[in-house]
Structure 1
Amino acid sequence: MESAFWTLLSWGPDGWSRSIAYGVFVTVSLALATLPLGLLIGFLVALAKQSTEPSLRLAGNIYTTIFRGLPELLTLFLVFYGAQFGIQQVVQLFSPGTAVEINSFVAGMVALGVVFSSYASEVFLSAFRGIPVGQYEGGYSIGLNKGQTMRLVILPQLIRIALPGLANLWLALLKDTALVSVIGLSDILRQSQIAARVTKEAFLFFGVACLIYLVLAIISSFGIGAIERAVGKKEMNR
């Protein structure tokens, strides 16, 4: 029985390790592609929510309310099927009969990105509120404009304050990538599901999937710790 398990987990023609390794690659690639998108949108939404312009604050609050309130899976379906339908209708106006398909990787990246950004905006907003107003005034007093003050004075402090919260969101993002298996993307969970269905060894392959996600989380924790130490050293050297 043990040898049969090792055969199923081998790289050979009867094993599934190659397929699962590809799923790991897809999962990590999706998470890494989603991260900058989510951070950028989250930062912009946080700026909007603390703006003096009421319409920007309202738009930012509506954005976070919607994407924090909707289940992640429903957001994924809305992006994958809804965006595909909308684009299809627009294309039909200019080129009747042309079929449009949304790439599942792109759909997953966008859906997870907007969900991630809605939570990241709250982390950034809390970090902004943790920076004293005097930091802005100090930047202006030495001749920096708003953009320079943000880049040179505020952003370094913002990153340090927001880093723990963003680290938690990254770990949540890694787990949320499992949702893309429902739209056909060959991530860890989908490859494990296929292997379990074909071999009838569900416990084995779902157990392997659990271990892989735990290993990714542990590696991420070490990486986050290294980043926090590097940021802390920079602050001490200033």
Structure 2
Amino acid sequence: MEWIEMLGFGPQGWGGVLLLAALMTVALTLAALAVGAVTGAVIAAAKLSRFRVARVLGDVYTTVFRGVPELLVIYLFYFGGSTLVTTVGQWFGAEGFIGVPPFVIGALAVGMISGAYQAEVYRAAVLAVSRGELEAARAMGMAPLVVFRRILIPQVLRFALPGIGNVWQLSLKDSALISVTGLAELLRTSQVAAGSTHQYFTFFVAGGALYLVMTGISNRIFNKAEAQVGKSFRRNFARN
């Protein structure tokens, strides 16, 4: 059948190109999740701070990046980032327009959006940790760094992991919006293949199927991670 040949790995097939685009989507989402993890941790710390200014700044960040449409954020990062780089380049004698790599823009834009959601996940996880355990650790003379490493972080990871899984799925879908910058991720490649062959339904269905496959694999990975963390936590609790 013609559609099987088009989705295959032969000379006329787009199968290999679509798989490479899916890997690009995963790489972009991983980079965005890493950016969001760092940003989210900083914002969560600000929202939990005893200083009012830090709390206000944290609230402003999460409100803006959760309230502004993701596509608008990507446009602002893409055009604003290129304008900034071009301006800085001109200061050092460069001429003409300097574009920022779409992958970098995508990772930063989706990462900053992800950071707003991860901040709320981390904040809720910290608040879920028993205050009694922390006070008991301090009463035993544990150093703050030891309390942070041995008590706070393991429990925050346990409480935050389900939320991080949801943020991952959100970032995976948001990565499709980076197609507007020209990055050859899965949606952009599906569009190119559909336009080249005029088989729009076939390639958009194939792209959607690959997204579902990535989502299914991601769910299994996070479910196993949650089970492993829960098992380790119960084992440590029983040992203590």
Which band: TM-score by shorter chain?
Answer: over 0.9
Q: Secondary structure at the match of 1:76?
A: helix
1:63 is matched with 61
Q: Secondary structure at the match of 1:175?
A: helix
1:145 paired to 2:167 = no
- For residues 80 and 156 of structure 1, the distance between their equivalents in structure 2, rounded to whole angstroms, comes to 37
8 Å contact kept, 1:135–1:154: no
Runs (5+) with no aligned partner, structure 1: none
The Cα shift of 1:96 comes to 4.4
1:184 is matched with 182
- For residues 232 and 24 of structure 2, the distance between their equivalents in structure 1, rounded to whole angstroms, comes to 34
- For residues 204 and 161 of structure 1, the distance between their equivalents in structure 2, rounded to whole angstroms, comes to 41
1:53 paired to 2:51 = yes
2:202 is matched with 204
2:28 is matched with 30
**CA RMSD, Structure 1 to Structure 2 (Å):** 1.3
- For residues 195 and 96 of structure 2, the distance between their equivalents in structure 1, rounded to whole angstroms, comes to 36
8 Å contact kept, 1:88–1:99: yes
- For residues 30 and 149 of structure 2, the distance between their equivalents in structure 1, rounded to whole angstroms, comes to 24
- Provide, for residues 108-156 of structure 1, a one-character-per-residue CA deviation record: whole Å limited to 9, x for no partner: 0000000001011111111111112222222222223333222211110
1:218 is matched with 216
Alpha-carbon distance change, 10 to 46 in structure 1, aligned in 2, over 3 angstroms: same
Runs of 4 or more consecutive aligned structure 1 residues displaced over 3 Å after TM superposition? none
- For residues 11 and 188 of structure 2, the distance between their equivalents in structure 1, rounded to whole angstroms, comes to 19
Alpha-carbon distance change, 223 to 96 in structure 1, aligned in 2, over 3 angstroms: closer
TM-score by length of 2: 0.94
- Provide, for residues 19-68 of structure 1, a one-character-per-residue CA deviation record: whole Å limited to 9, x for no partner: 11111110011111111221121111101101011121111111111111
1:102 is matched with 100
- For residues 68 and 56 of structure 2, the distance between their equivalents in structure 1, rounded to whole angstroms, comes to 18
1:86 is matched with 84
Q: Secondary structure at the match of 1:210?
A: helix
- For residues 185 and 44 of structure 1, the distance between their equivalents in structure 2, rounded to whole angstroms, comes to 29
- For residues 173 and 44 of structure 2, the distance between their equivalents in structure 1, rounded to whole angstroms, comes to 24
The Cα shift of 1:100 comes to 2.2
Alpha-carbon distance change, 13 to 162 in structure 1, aligned in 2, over 3 angstroms: same
**What percent of counterpart residues are identical?**
36
1:193 is matched with 191
- For residues 145 and 37 of structure 1, the distance between their equivalents in structure 2, rounded to whole angstroms, comes to 29
Q: Secondary structure at the match of 1:10?
A: coil
- Provide, for residues 191-217 of structure 1, a one-character-per-residue CA deviation record: whole Å limited to 9, x for no partner: 110111111111100000111111111
- For residues 84 and 140 of structure 1, the distance between their equivalents in structure 2, rounded to whole angstroms, comes to 49
Pick one of 204, 207, 225 that aligns with 1:227: 225
Q: How many residues align?
A: 236
| Amino acid across the alignment from 2:221 | G
- For residues 226 and 130 of structure 1, the distance between their equivalents in structure 2, rounded to whole angstroms, comes to 22
1:44 is matched with 42
